[in-house]
Amino acid sequence: MSGRLLLVPNTLDLGAADATLEDVLPLGVLRMAASLLHWVVEDARNARAFLKRIGAVTPLAHSLQALQVNELPRPRKGSREDIPLSAWSTLLEPARRGQDIGLLSEAGLPGVADPGAALVQAAHDAAIPVWPLAGASSLTLAVAAGGLNGQSFAFVGYLPQDAAARAARLRDLEAQSRRLVQTQLLIETPYRNAALAAALWAVLAPGTRVSIACGLTQPRGWCRTATVAQWRAAPPVMPDTLPAVFALLAA
Amino acid sequence: MSGRLLLVPNTLDLGAADATLEDVLPLGVLRMAASLLHWVVEDARNARAFLKRIGAVTPLAHSLQALQVNELPRPRKGSREDIPLSAWSTLLEPARRGQDIGLLSEAGLPGVADPGAALVQAAHDAAIPVWPLAGASSLTLAVAAGGLNGQSFAFVGYLPQDAAARAARLRDLEAQSRRLVQTQLLIETPYRNAALAAALWAVLAPGTRVSIACGLTQPRGWCRTATVAQWRAAPPVMPDTLPAVFALLAA
Protein backbone atom coordinates (compact mmCIF):
# COMPACT_ATOMS: atom_id res chain seq x y z
CA MET A 1 0.00 0.00 0.00
CA SER A 2 1.36 3.38 -1.03
CA GLY A 3 1.30 6.31 1.37
CA ARG A 4 -0.44 9.48 0.29
CA LEU A 5 0.70 12.98 -0.57
CA LEU A 6 -1.53 15.05 1.74
CA LEU A 7 -1.94 18.72 0.81
CA VAL A 8 -1.96 20.54 4.14
CA PRO A 9 -3.51 24.03 4.23
CA ASN A 10 -1.61 26.75 6.05
CA THR A 11 -3.07 29.88 7.64
CA LEU A 12 -3.39 33.03 5.50
CA ASP A 13 -1.45 35.28 7.90
CA LEU A 14 2.03 34.41 6.63
CA GLY A 15 3.17 33.46 10.11
CA ALA A 16 1.98 36.71 11.74
CA ALA A 17 0.05 34.36 14.07
CA ASP A 18 -2.52 37.05 14.84
CA ALA A 19 -5.40 34.72 13.98
CA THR A 20 -6.23 31.84 16.33
CA LEU A 21 -5.35 28.54 14.65
CA GLU A 22 -8.73 26.92 15.50
CA ASP A 23 -10.54 29.86 13.89
CA VAL A 24 -8.99 29.27 10.51
CA LEU A 25 -8.18 25.54 10.20
CA PRO A 26 -10.36 22.51 10.96
CA LEU A 27 -9.43 20.55 14.07
CA GLY A 28 -9.29 17.35 11.98
CA VAL A 29 -6.71 18.97 9.71
CA LEU A 30 -4.59 20.07 12.69
CA ARG A 31 -4.74 16.53 14.09
CA MET A 32 -3.78 14.99 10.75
CA ALA A 33 -0.87 17.43 10.40
CA ALA A 34 0.22 16.62 13.98
CA SER A 35 0.43 12.91 13.08
CA LEU A 36 2.79 13.25 10.11
CA LEU A 37 6.49 12.45 10.19
CA HIS A 38 7.42 13.34 6.60
CA TRP A 39 7.07 16.85 5.19
CA VAL A 40 7.86 18.67 1.98
CA VAL A 41 7.60 22.42 2.51
CA GLU A 42 8.33 25.78 0.97
CA ASP A 43 10.43 26.95 3.93
CA ALA A 44 11.64 24.54 6.63
CA ARG A 45 12.01 27.12 9.40
CA ASN A 46 8.52 28.54 8.90
CA ALA A 47 7.07 25.05 8.59
CA ARG A 48 8.53 24.09 11.97
CA ALA A 49 7.10 27.29 13.49
CA PHE A 50 3.68 26.37 12.05
CA LEU A 51 3.92 22.83 13.44
CA LYS A 52 4.91 24.27 16.81
CA ARG A 53 1.71 26.36 16.73
CA ILE A 54 -0.22 23.17 15.93
CA GLY A 55 1.50 21.36 18.80
CA ALA A 56 -0.01 23.89 21.20
CA VAL A 57 -3.50 22.80 20.06
CA THR A 58 -3.03 19.07 19.62
CA PRO A 59 0.03 16.99 20.60
CA LEU A 60 2.53 16.24 17.83
CA ALA A 61 3.12 12.51 17.28
CA HIS A 62 6.83 13.22 16.71
CA SER A 63 9.08 15.82 18.30
CA LEU A 64 9.96 18.82 16.14
CA GLN A 65 13.55 17.52 16.08
CA ALA A 66 12.47 14.11 14.81
CA LEU A 67 10.39 15.45 11.90
CA GLN A 68 11.74 14.82 8.41
CA VAL A 69 11.29 18.22 6.78
CA ASN A 70 12.51 18.69 3.21
CA GLU A 71 12.26 21.90 1.21
CA LEU A 72 10.84 22.04 -2.30
CA PRO A 73 13.66 22.56 -4.79
CA ARG A 74 13.47 26.06 -6.28
CA PRO A 75 13.51 26.23 -10.06
CA ARG A 76 15.39 29.20 -11.48
CA LYS A 77 12.43 30.79 -13.28
CA GLY A 78 9.22 29.15 -12.00
CA SER A 79 9.87 26.37 -14.52
CA ARG A 80 10.10 22.69 -13.69
CA GLU A 81 12.72 22.13 -16.39
CA ASP A 82 15.72 22.80 -14.19
CA ILE A 83 14.79 20.30 -11.49
CA PRO A 84 15.93 16.76 -12.27
CA LEU A 85 13.02 14.29 -12.12
CA SER A 86 14.97 12.27 -9.56
CA ALA A 87 14.53 15.14 -7.06
CA TRP A 88 10.74 14.65 -7.02
CA SER A 89 11.18 10.91 -6.85
CA THR A 90 13.43 11.25 -3.78
CA LEU A 91 10.95 13.54 -2.03
CA LEU A 92 8.18 11.00 -2.67
CA GLU A 93 10.22 8.05 -1.38
CA PRO A 94 8.39 7.80 2.01
CA ALA A 95 5.05 7.37 0.19
CA ARG A 96 6.54 4.49 -1.79
CA ARG A 97 7.38 2.89 1.57
CA GLY A 98 3.75 3.32 2.67
CA GLN A 99 4.06 6.51 4.72
CA ASP A 100 2.03 9.67 4.24
CA ILE A 101 3.79 12.90 3.31
CA GLY A 102 2.50 16.39 4.11
CA LEU A 103 2.99 19.11 1.50
CA LEU A 104 2.86 22.64 2.93
CA SER A 105 3.34 26.10 1.47
CA GLU A 106 3.78 29.45 3.22
CA ALA A 107 0.07 30.36 3.12
CA GLY A 108 -3.21 28.78 2.12
CA LEU A 109 -3.15 25.77 -0.19
CA PRO A 110 0.08 24.37 -1.67
CA GLY A 111 0.19 24.77 -5.43
CA VAL A 112 -2.38 27.57 -5.51
CA ALA A 113 -0.46 30.79 -6.22
CA ASP A 114 2.33 28.98 -4.40
CA PRO A 115 4.92 26.29 -5.19
CA GLY A 116 4.08 22.61 -4.95
CA ALA A 117 2.34 21.75 -8.22
CA ALA A 118 5.36 19.97 -9.68
CA LEU A 119 5.51 17.58 -6.72
CA VAL A 120 1.76 16.93 -6.99
CA GLN A 121 2.22 16.22 -10.69
CA ALA A 122 5.08 13.82 -9.93
CA ALA A 123 2.89 12.03 -7.37
CA HIS A 124 0.10 11.56 -9.95
CA ASP A 125 2.66 10.29 -12.47
CA ALA A 126 3.90 7.76 -9.88
CA ALA A 127 0.33 6.67 -8.97
CA ILE A 128 0.77 7.98 -5.42
CA PRO A 129 -2.65 9.06 -4.10
CA VAL A 130 -2.95 12.84 -3.69
CA TRP A 131 -5.45 14.20 -1.19
CA PRO A 132 -6.15 17.82 -0.25
CA LEU A 133 -7.21 18.53 3.33
CA ALA A 134 -9.96 21.13 3.76
CA GLY A 135 -8.59 24.65 4.03
CA ALA A 136 -9.13 28.16 2.81
CA SER A 137 -7.50 29.88 -0.14
CA SER A 138 -7.43 33.67 -0.04
CA LEU A 139 -8.42 33.65 -3.72
CA THR A 140 -11.82 32.01 -3.34
CA LEU A 141 -12.46 33.87 -0.06
CA ALA A 142 -11.83 37.06 -2.05
CA VAL A 143 -14.27 35.96 -4.76
CA ALA A 144 -16.95 35.36 -2.10
CA ALA A 145 -16.22 38.63 -0.31
CA GLY A 146 -16.13 40.73 -3.47
CA GLY A 147 -19.63 40.01 -4.69
CA LEU A 148 -18.43 40.22 -8.31
CA ASN A 149 -19.02 37.34 -10.72
CA GLY A 150 -18.40 34.07 -8.85
CA GLN A 151 -19.74 31.92 -11.71
CA SER A 152 -16.73 32.80 -13.86
CA PHE A 153 -13.43 34.07 -12.51
CA ALA A 154 -9.73 33.82 -13.29
CA PHE A 155 -6.65 34.14 -11.12
CA VAL A 156 -3.84 35.66 -13.16
CA GLY A 157 -1.12 36.11 -10.56
CA TYR A 158 1.20 39.11 -10.48
CA LEU A 159 1.36 42.02 -12.91
CA PRO A 160 4.59 43.25 -14.51
CA GLN A 161 6.62 45.72 -12.39
CA ASP A 162 7.28 48.13 -15.26
CA ALA A 163 4.59 50.84 -15.26
CA ALA A 164 3.89 50.79 -19.01
CA ALA A 165 3.81 47.00 -19.17
CA ARG A 166 1.57 46.89 -16.10
CA ALA A 167 -0.89 49.37 -17.61
CA ALA A 168 -1.00 47.40 -20.86
CA ARG A 169 -1.62 44.16 -18.96
CA LEU A 170 -4.39 45.78 -16.90
CA ARG A 171 -6.11 46.98 -20.08
CA ASP A 172 -5.88 43.44 -21.48
CA LEU A 173 -7.40 41.99 -18.31
CA GLU A 174 -10.21 44.56 -18.33
CA ALA A 175 -10.99 43.73 -21.97
CA GLN A 176 -10.92 40.00 -21.14
CA SER A 177 -13.21 40.62 -18.16
CA ARG A 178 -15.67 42.54 -20.36
CA ARG A 179 -15.61 39.97 -23.17
CA LEU A 180 -16.03 36.90 -20.93
CA VAL A 181 -17.99 38.59 -18.09
CA GLN A 182 -15.23 37.13 -15.93
CA THR A 183 -13.84 38.41 -12.64
CA GLN A 184 -10.03 38.79 -12.84
CA LEU A 185 -8.04 38.23 -9.64
CA LEU A 186 -4.57 39.67 -9.01
CA ILE A 187 -2.13 39.60 -6.13
CA GLU A 188 0.91 41.67 -5.25
CA THR A 189 3.70 41.62 -2.67
CA PRO A 190 2.23 43.51 0.34
CA TYR A 191 4.67 46.43 0.21
CA ARG A 192 3.57 47.09 -3.38
CA ASN A 193 -0.19 47.02 -2.59
CA ALA A 194 -0.48 50.81 -2.73
CA ALA A 195 1.33 51.00 -6.08
CA LEU A 196 -0.95 48.37 -7.60
CA ALA A 197 -4.07 50.12 -6.26
CA ALA A 198 -2.91 53.43 -7.75
CA ALA A 199 -2.33 51.72 -11.10
CA LEU A 200 -5.87 50.32 -11.02
CA TRP A 201 -7.44 53.76 -10.50
CA ALA A 202 -5.21 55.29 -13.17
CA VAL A 203 -5.82 52.70 -15.88
CA LEU A 204 -9.26 51.11 -15.51
CA ALA A 205 -12.56 52.53 -16.76
CA PRO A 206 -14.65 54.47 -14.20
CA GLY A 207 -17.48 51.93 -14.31
CA THR A 208 -15.29 48.85 -13.72
CA ARG A 209 -15.92 47.38 -10.28
CA VAL A 210 -12.85 46.67 -8.14
CA SER A 211 -12.83 44.59 -5.00
CA ILE A 212 -9.97 44.69 -2.50
CA ALA A 213 -9.67 42.02 0.19
CA CYS A 214 -6.86 42.74 2.66
CA GLY A 215 -5.65 40.48 5.45
CA LEU A 216 -8.39 37.88 5.01
CA THR A 217 -9.09 35.89 8.22
CA GLN A 218 -6.91 38.36 10.17
CA PRO A 219 -8.25 40.70 12.86
CA ARG A 220 -7.01 43.80 11.01
CA GLY A 221 -8.42 42.65 7.68
CA TRP A 222 -11.12 44.33 5.58
CA CYS A 223 -12.72 44.03 2.18
CA ARG A 224 -14.61 46.48 0.05
CA THR A 225 -16.03 46.62 -3.47
CA ALA A 226 -16.76 49.80 -5.42
CA THR A 227 -16.49 51.24 -8.91
CA VAL A 228 -13.20 52.75 -10.04
CA ALA A 229 -14.90 56.16 -9.99
CA GLN A 230 -15.87 55.64 -6.34
CA TRP A 231 -12.39 54.40 -5.40
CA ARG A 232 -10.86 57.47 -7.11
CA ALA A 233 -13.08 59.76 -5.05
CA ALA A 234 -12.09 58.04 -1.79
CA PRO A 235 -8.86 56.07 -2.22
CA PRO A 236 -8.19 53.44 0.44
CA VAL A 237 -5.20 53.44 2.75
CA MET A 238 -3.45 50.28 1.59
CA PRO A 239 -1.59 48.42 4.36
CA ASP A 240 1.94 47.49 3.30
CA THR A 241 2.22 44.43 5.53
CA LEU A 242 -1.09 42.63 4.90
CA PRO A 243 -1.49 40.36 1.88
CA ALA A 244 -4.24 41.60 -0.44
CA VAL A 245 -6.26 40.13 -3.29
CA PHE A 246 -7.51 42.52 -5.97
CA ALA A 247 -10.44 41.64 -8.21
CA LEU A 248 -11.93 43.51 -11.15
CA LEU A 249 -15.06 43.08 -13.22
CA ALA A 250 -15.57 45.35 -16.22
CA ALA A 251 -19.01 46.94 -16.69
CA MET B 1 -22.54 50.48 14.51
CA SER B 2 -23.63 48.36 11.57
CA GLY B 3 -23.76 44.59 11.86
CA ARG B 4 -21.75 42.56 9.38
CA LEU B 5 -22.63 40.23 6.54
CA LEU B 6 -20.62 37.13 7.48
CA LEU B 7 -19.97 34.66 4.69
CA VAL B 8 -20.28 31.24 6.34
CA PRO B 9 -18.62 28.29 4.59
CA ASN B 10 -20.62 25.09 4.27
CA THR B 11 -19.24 21.56 3.94
CA LEU B 12 -18.57 20.20 0.44
CA ASP B 13 -20.68 17.06 0.87
CA LEU B 14 -24.02 18.63 -0.09
CA GLY B 15 -25.61 17.43 3.13
CA ALA B 16 -24.47 13.81 2.74
CA ALA B 17 -22.93 14.33 6.19
CA ASP B 18 -20.36 11.59 5.60
CA ALA B 19 -17.51 13.86 6.59
CA THR B 20 -17.06 14.85 10.24
CA LEU B 21 -17.85 18.55 10.66
CA GLU B 22 -14.68 19.25 12.69
CA ASP B 23 -12.58 17.69 9.92
CA VAL B 24 -13.74 20.19 7.32
CA LEU B 25 -14.64 23.45 9.11
CA PRO B 26 -12.68 25.40 11.73
CA LEU B 27 -14.04 25.27 15.27
CA GLY B 28 -14.06 29.09 15.39
CA VAL B 29 -16.29 29.16 12.31
CA LEU B 30 -18.69 26.62 13.84
CA ARG B 31 -18.85 28.72 17.03
CA MET B 32 -19.46 31.92 15.10
CA ALA B 33 -22.22 30.25 13.07
CA ALA B 34 -23.76 28.90 16.29
CA SER B 35 -23.98 32.45 17.66
CA LEU B 36 -25.97 33.97 14.78
CA LEU B 37 -29.68 34.72 14.87
CA HIS B 38 -30.14 36.07 11.33
CA TRP B 39 -29.50 34.02 8.23
CA VAL B 40 -29.83 34.38 4.49
CA VAL B 41 -29.49 31.01 2.81
CA GLU B 42 -29.89 29.18 -0.46
CA ASP B 43 -32.30 26.61 1.02
CA ALA B 44 -33.91 27.07 4.45
CA ARG B 45 -34.51 23.39 5.16
CA ASN B 46 -30.94 22.37 4.36
CA ALA B 47 -29.59 25.35 6.29
CA ARG B 48 -31.48 24.24 9.41
CA ALA B 49 -30.12 20.71 8.97
CA PHE B 50 -26.60 22.15 8.74
CA LEU B 51 -27.13 24.26 11.86
CA LYS B 52 -28.46 21.19 13.65
CA ARG B 53 -25.18 19.41 12.77
CA ILE B 54 -23.30 22.41 14.17
CA GLY B 55 -25.41 22.29 17.34
CA ALA B 56 -24.10 18.77 18.00
CA VAL B 57 -20.54 20.20 18.12
CA THR B 58 -21.09 23.52 19.86
CA PRO B 59 -24.32 24.78 21.48
CA LEU B 60 -26.51 27.08 19.36
CA ALA B 61 -27.18 30.46 20.98
CA HIS B 62 -30.77 30.35 19.67
CA SER B 63 -33.07 27.40 19.22
CA LEU B 64 -33.60 26.21 15.64
CA GLN B 65 -37.19 27.44 15.90
CA ALA B 66 -36.10 30.92 16.95
CA LEU B 67 -33.64 31.42 14.08
CA GLN B 68 -34.58 33.99 11.45
CA VAL B 69 -33.82 32.13 8.24
CA ASN B 70 -34.59 33.84 4.92
CA GLU B 71 -33.98 32.36 1.49
CA LEU B 72 -32.16 34.20 -1.27
CA PRO B 73 -34.63 35.30 -3.92
CA ARG B 74 -34.15 33.27 -7.11
CA PRO B 75 -33.73 35.30 -10.28
CA ARG B 76 -35.27 33.75 -13.38
CA LYS B 77 -32.04 33.38 -15.37
CA GLY B 78 -29.11 33.87 -13.00
CA SER B 79 -29.56 37.60 -13.53
CA ARG B 80 -30.03 40.18 -10.80
CA GLU B 81 -32.37 42.26 -12.99
CA ASP B 82 -35.56 40.55 -11.95
CA ILE B 83 -35.06 41.02 -8.22
CA PRO B 84 -36.23 44.41 -6.95
CA LEU B 85 -33.46 46.26 -5.07
CA SER B 86 -35.76 46.51 -2.06
CA ALA B 87 -35.52 42.71 -1.61
CA TRP B 88 -31.77 42.95 -0.83
CA SER B 89 -32.37 45.93 1.40
CA THR B 90 -34.97 43.97 3.42
CA LEU B 91 -32.62 41.01 3.81
CA LEU B 92 -29.89 43.34 5.09
CA GLU B 93 -32.19 45.10 7.58
CA PRO B 94 -30.79 43.28 10.69
CA ALA B 95 -27.27 44.55 9.86
CA ARG B 96 -28.62 48.09 9.73
CA ARG B 97 -29.92 47.52 13.27
CA GLY B 98 -26.43 46.39 14.35
CA GLN B 99 -26.85 42.61 14.13
CA ASP B 100 -24.65 40.23 12.18
CA ILE B 101 -26.18 38.19 9.35
CA GLY B 102 -24.85 34.83 8.17
CA LEU B 103 -24.91 34.12 4.43
CA LEU B 104 -24.83 30.40 3.58
CA SER B 105 -25.01 28.44 0.35
CA GLU B 106 -25.53 24.71 -0.21
CA ALA B 107 -21.81 23.87 -0.36
CA GLY B 108 -18.50 25.63 0.11
CA LEU B 109 -18.40 29.41 -0.03
CA PRO B 110 -21.47 31.52 -0.81
CA GLY B 111 -21.13 33.36 -4.11
CA VAL B 112 -18.45 31.01 -5.47
CA ALA B 113 -20.16 28.85 -8.13
CA ASP B 114 -23.21 29.41 -5.93
CA PRO B 115 -25.79 32.16 -5.34
CA GLY B 116 -25.13 35.00 -2.93
CA ALA B 117 -23.03 37.52 -4.89
CA ALA B 118 -25.94 39.93 -5.41
CA LEU B 119 -26.53 40.18 -1.66
CA VAL B 120 -22.79 40.74 -1.05
CA GLN B 121 -22.84 43.45 -3.70
CA ALA B 122 -25.85 45.09 -2.06
CA ALA B 123 -24.05 45.00 1.31
CA HIS B 124 -21.01 46.77 -0.19
CA ASP B 125 -23.30 49.34 -1.79
CA ALA B 126 -24.92 49.96 1.60
CA ALA B 127 -21.53 50.20 3.38
CA ILE B 128 -22.33 47.12 5.46
CA PRO B 129 -19.06 45.34 6.30
CA VAL B 130 -18.66 42.01 4.52
CA TRP B 131 -16.43 39.38 6.06
CA PRO B 132 -15.72 35.83 4.84
CA LEU B 133 -15.04 33.16 7.46
CA ALA B 134 -12.27 30.67 6.65
CA GLY B 135 -13.55 27.70 4.68
CA ALA B 136 -12.72 25.51 1.73
CA SER B 137 -13.93 25.86 -1.83
CA SER B 138 -13.86 22.70 -3.94
CA LEU B 139 -12.45 24.80 -6.80
CA THR B 140 -9.18 25.80 -5.13
CA LEU B 141 -8.87 22.36 -3.48
CA ALA B 142 -9.13 20.91 -6.99
CA VAL B 143 -6.43 23.28 -8.25
CA ALA B 144 -4.12 22.15 -5.44
CA ALA B 145 -4.93 18.48 -5.95
CA GLY B 146 -4.58 18.55 -9.74
CA GLY B 147 -0.97 19.73 -9.90
CA LEU B 148 -1.71 21.66 -13.09
CA ASN B 149 -0.96 25.39 -13.32
CA GLY B 150 -1.92 27.00 -10.00
CA GLN B 151 -0.34 30.36 -10.92
CA SER B 152 -3.04 31.00 -13.53
CA PHE B 153 -6.42 29.31 -13.56
CA ALA B 154 -10.01 30.09 -14.49
CA PHE B 155 -13.30 28.71 -13.29
CA VAL B 156 -15.80 28.74 -16.13
CA GLY B 157 -18.79 26.98 -14.59
CA TYR B 158 -21.00 24.57 -16.53
CA LEU B 159 -20.74 23.58 -20.20
CA PRO B 160 -23.73 23.63 -22.57
CA GLN B 161 -25.89 20.46 -22.52
CA ASP B 162 -26.11 20.16 -26.31
CA ALA B 163 -23.33 17.85 -27.55
CA ALA B 164 -22.19 20.02 -30.47
CA ALA B 165 -22.25 23.21 -28.43
CA ARG B 166 -20.41 21.46 -25.61
CA ALA B 167 -17.69 20.19 -27.96
CA ALA B 168 -17.26 23.67 -29.43
CA ARG B 169 -17.00 25.21 -25.98
CA LEU B 170 -14.43 22.60 -24.91
CA ARG B 171 -12.31 23.38 -27.97
CA ASP B 172 -12.50 27.07 -27.09
CA LEU B 173 -11.41 26.39 -23.53
CA GLU B 174 -8.54 24.19 -24.68
CA ALA B 175 -7.37 26.94 -27.05
CA GLN B 176 -7.66 29.50 -24.26
CA SER B 177 -5.71 27.20 -21.93
CA ARG B 178 -2.95 26.81 -24.51
CA ARG B 179 -2.75 30.52 -25.32
CA LEU B 180 -2.73 31.73 -21.69
CA VAL B 181 -1.05 28.63 -20.14
CA GLN B 182 -4.11 28.70 -17.87
CA THR B 183 -5.83 25.81 -16.11
CA GLN B 184 -9.57 25.75 -16.93
CA LEU B 185 -11.95 24.44 -14.26
CA LEU B 186 -15.42 23.04 -14.99
CA ILE B 187 -18.19 21.55 -12.91
CA GLU B 188 -21.24 19.45 -13.73
CA THR B 189 -24.30 18.12 -11.95
CA PRO B 190 -23.13 14.81 -10.41
CA TYR B 191 -25.43 12.56 -12.48
CA ARG B 192 -23.89 14.06 -15.64
CA ASN B 193 -20.26 13.53 -14.50
CA ALA B 194 -19.82 10.50 -16.77
CA ALA B 195 -21.20 12.34 -19.82
CA LEU B 196 -18.86 15.27 -19.26
CA ALA B 197 -15.86 12.94 -18.80
CA ALA B 198 -16.71 11.13 -22.06
CA ALA B 199 -16.95 14.48 -23.85
CA LEU B 200 -13.50 15.45 -22.56
CA TRP B 201 -11.88 12.25 -23.92
CA ALA B 202 -13.70 12.64 -27.23
CA VAL B 203 -12.87 16.28 -27.88
CA LEU B 204 -9.56 17.25 -26.26
CA ALA B 205 -6.08 16.68 -27.68
CA PRO B 206 -4.24 13.53 -26.48
CA GLY B 207 -1.52 15.57 -24.77
CA THR B 208 -3.87 17.83 -22.81
CA ARG B 209 -3.72 17.05 -19.09
CA VAL B 210 -7.05 16.51 -17.32
CA SER B 211 -7.51 16.41 -13.58
CA ILE B 212 -10.64 15.00 -11.94
CA ALA B 213 -11.37 15.65 -8.27
CA CYS B 214 -14.43 13.74 -7.02
CA GLY B 215 -16.04 14.04 -3.60
CA LEU B 216 -13.38 16.31 -2.14
CA THR B 217 -13.13 16.07 1.68
CA GLN B 218 -15.43 13.02 1.58
CA PRO B 219 -14.33 9.51 2.60
CA ARG B 220 -15.22 8.09 -0.83
CA GLY B 221 -13.47 10.89 -2.71
CA TRP B 222 -10.48 10.62 -5.05
CA CYS B 223 -8.50 12.74 -7.44
CA ARG B 224 -6.27 11.90 -10.36
CA THR B 225 -4.44 13.75 -13.12
CA ALA B 226 -3.37 12.25 -16.43
CA THR B 227 -3.17 13.08 -20.12
CA VAL B 228 -6.25 12.63 -22.29
CA ALA B 229 -4.43 9.74 -24.01
CA GLN B 230 -3.93 8.03 -20.64
CA TRP B 231 -7.55 8.63 -19.58
CA ARG B 232 -8.74 7.17 -22.90
CA ALA B 233 -6.70 4.02 -22.29
CA ALA B 234 -8.15 3.61 -18.77
CA PRO B 235 -11.37 5.58 -18.38
CA PRO B 236 -12.44 6.21 -14.79
CA VAL B 237 -15.69 5.01 -13.27
CA MET B 238 -17.40 8.32 -12.61
CA PRO B 239 -19.65 8.32 -9.53
CA ASP B 240 -23.05 9.84 -10.28
CA THR B 241 -23.70 11.07 -6.73
CA LEU B 242 -20.41 12.78 -5.82
CA PRO B 243 -19.74 16.34 -6.94
CA ALA B 244 -16.69 16.57 -9.19
CA VAL B 245 -14.40 19.32 -10.40
CA PHE B 246 -12.74 18.85 -13.80
CA ALA B 247 -9.61 20.76 -14.78
CA LEU B 248 -7.70 20.86 -18.04
CA LEU B 249 -4.38 22.28 -19.11
CA ALA B 250 -3.43 22.14 -22.78
CA ALA B 251 0.08 20.96 -23.64
Delineate the domains of chain B, giving CATH numbers in brackets: 5-132 (3.40.1010.10), 138-249 (3.30.950.10)
For an interface test with A, the pick among B151, B185, B220 (most A C-beta atoms closer than 10 Å) comes out as B151
Please give the interface size between A and B, counted as residue pairs whose CB atoms are below 8 Å apart. 203
Cβ count within 10 A of residue A183: 27
Task: List, for residues A27-38, the tens digit of each pLDDT value.
Answer: 999 999 999 999
Give the pLDDT mean for B154-164.
Answer: 96
Q: Answer yes or no: do A131 and B145 touch at CB < 8 A.
A: yes
Q: Answer yes or no: do B27 and A22 touch at CB < 8 A.
A: yes
Task: List, for residues A64-114, the tens digit of each pLDDT value.
Answer: 999 999 999 987 665 656 788 899 999 999 999 999 999 999 999 999 999
Contact between residue A95 and residue A1 where contact means Cβ atoms under 8 Å apart: no
- Assign B226 a pLDDT band (cuts: 50, 70, 90): very high
Q: What is the mean pLDDT of chain A?
A: 95
Give the pLDDT mean for B209-237.
Answer: 96
Contact between residue A188 and residue A120 where contact means Cβ atoms under 8 Å apart: no
Nearest chain B residue to A211 by CA: give it: B124
CA of B146 to nearest chain A CA: how many angstroms apart?
7
C-alpha A153/C-alpha A137 separation (Å) is: 14
- Using an 8 Å CB-CB cutoff, list chain A residues near B143: 109, 111-112
- Assign B81 a pLDDT band (cuts: 50, 70, 90): low
- Residue closest to A195 by CA, chosen among A156, A233, A234, A244: A244
Give the pLDDT mean for B15-41.
Answer: 93
Give the pLDDT mean for B84-107.
Answer: 96
CA of A148 to nearest chain B CA: how many angstroms apart?
6
C-alpha B41/C-alpha B47 separation (Å) is: 7
* Torsion angles phi and psi, residue A197, rounded to 5: -60, -45
Candidates A112, A221, A226; nearest CB to B144: A112
- Using an 8 Å CB-CB cutoff, list chain A residues near B153: 154-155
Structure letter (DSSP) for residue A64: T
pLDDT of residue B182: 98
- Using an 8 Å CB-CB cutoff, list chain B residues near A154: 152-155, 182
Asked if the interface predicted TM-score (ipTM) of this complex is over 0.90, the answer is: yes
What is the SS3 assignment for A147? coil
**Any alpha helices (H) in B25-137, and if so which ranges?**
27-35, 44-55, 85-91, 93-96, 117-125
Q: Answer yes or no: do A25 and B155 touch at CB < 8 A.
A: no
Rounded to 10°, the helix B193-203/B163-180 angle is 60
- Assign A175 a pLDDT band (cuts: 50, 70, 90): very high
pLDDT of residue A84: 87
Q: Answer yes or no: do B121 and A222 touch at CB < 8 A.
A: no
Nearest chain B residue to A141 by CA: give it: B132
Element (H, E) at A21: helix A21-24
Candidates B26, B78, B216; nearest CB to A25: B26
- Expressed in angstroms, the distance from the first to the final Cα of chain B is 53
